[in-house]
């Protein structure tokens, strides 16, 4: 069985989708660590509920990104993590983590990349008048929402309510992340 780490900064619905799939046996893996850079984020409660160990930290309390990433790399190695899944981790991954886990860090993003990168992808797409939305899962590199695309799923939407796009998109995210992680673990 493969070991996953999930990184999140917010609500953690994607964390929960992955954790539930591990519990159900739809995903042949276990989450051995949840990493969160926002003390108080809802994802921390979700991790507790699933009995997943959390590492919660405040980036500001470290001298540099290399310092907190160095600590994280050590924890990932100690727990023999095979794949790191970013799930709403709103922070650019630095070279310390990238070089230690090269080709083994993936991210989910709520747009059809390379369109609409960043933290407000859905709001930006709605403002642009987009008619076909989507979700992307990609390898992580040192750029914001960059890196080679692994999977995408599109859906039509002809309205102007970002909340509705988020609702439709999140349902797709939860399915696509589980399917894609299982495929990556098979290879
Ligand atoms: C997800 O929609 C994910 O695609 C997005 O953050 C949300 C986290 O939701 N990620 C990005 O925008 C990355 N640039 P969750 O906390 O409920 O899983």
Backbone angles phi, psi at 150, to 5 degrees: -105, -45
Question: Which pLDDT tens digit goes with each residue over 108-140?
Answer: 999 999 999 999 999 999 999 999 999 999 999
Neighbours of 58 (CB within 10 A): 10
Averaged pLDDT for residues 163-176: 98
Residue 176 CA, ligand 1 centroid: distance in Å: 13
Token pair, residue 66, equals: 């290399």
pLDDT (tens digit per residue) in 6-43: 999 999 999 999 999 999 999 999 999 999 999 999 99
pLDDT at 187: 87
Q: Which atom of ligand 1 is nearest to the CA of 10?
A: 16
- pLDDT by residue (tens digit) across 55-113? 999 999 999 999 999 999 999 999 999 999 999 999 999 999 999 999 999 999 999 99
Please, what are the domains in the chain? 2-110+137-152+172-186 (3.40.50.170)
Catalytic: 109?
A: yes
CB 140 within 8 Å of CB 95: no
| Ligand 1 atom nearest to 119, measured from its CA | 12
Q: What's the rounded Cα separation, in Å, for the pair 126 and 118? A: 14
Q: What is the pLDDT of residues 39-52, one digit of tens each?
A: 999 999 999 999 99
Residue nearest to atom 8 of ligand 1 (CA): 88
Res. 150 pLDDT band, cuts 50 70 90 = very high
pLDDT attached to residue 50: 98
The alpha carbon torsion through 107, 77, 46, 67 (nearest 10 deg) reads -80
Q: Whole-angstrom Cα distance, residue 68 to residue 31?
A: 20
Burial label, 61 (beta-carbon count in 10 A; 0-12, 13-18, 19+): exposed
Question: Closest Cα to atom 7, ligand 1: which residue?
Answer: 88
Identify the pLDDT of residue 96: 98
Strand positions, DSSP E, the chain: 2-8, 29-36, 54-56, 83-86, 105-109, 132-139, 149-156
Query: The dihedral of CA 66, 68, 53, 180: what is its sign?
Result: negative
Nearest to 169 by CA among 158, 181, 157: 157
Task: Show the ligand 1 pocket: residues with CB < 6 angstroms.
Answer: 8, 10-14, 87-88, 108-110, 119, 121, 145, 170, 173
The answer, yes or no, to whether residue 165 has pLDDT greater than 90, is: yes
């Amino acid at each position: 069985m493969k070991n996953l780490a999930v990184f999140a900064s917010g609500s953690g619905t994607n964390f929960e989708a992955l954790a539930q799939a591990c519990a159900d046996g739809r995903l042949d893996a276990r989450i051995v660590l949840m990493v969160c850079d926002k003390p108080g984020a809802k994802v921390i409660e979700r991790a507790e509920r699933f009995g997943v160990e959390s590492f919660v930290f405040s980036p500001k309390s470290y001298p540099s990104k290399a310092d907190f990433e160095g600590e994280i790399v050590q924890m990932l190695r100690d727990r023999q993590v095979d794949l790191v899944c970013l799930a709403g981790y709103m922070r650019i991954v630095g070279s310390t983590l990238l070089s230690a886990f090269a080709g083994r860090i993936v991210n989910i993003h709520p747009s059809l990349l390379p369109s609409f990168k960043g933290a407000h992808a859905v709001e930006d797409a709605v403002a642009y008048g987009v008619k076909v939305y989507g979700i992307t899962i990609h390898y992580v590199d040192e750029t914001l929402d960059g890196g080679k695309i692994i999977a995408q799923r599109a859906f039509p939407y002809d309205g102007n309510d970002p909340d509705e796009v988020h609702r439709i998109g999140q349902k797709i995210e939860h399915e696509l992340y589980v399917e894609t992680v299982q495929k990556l673990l098979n290879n």
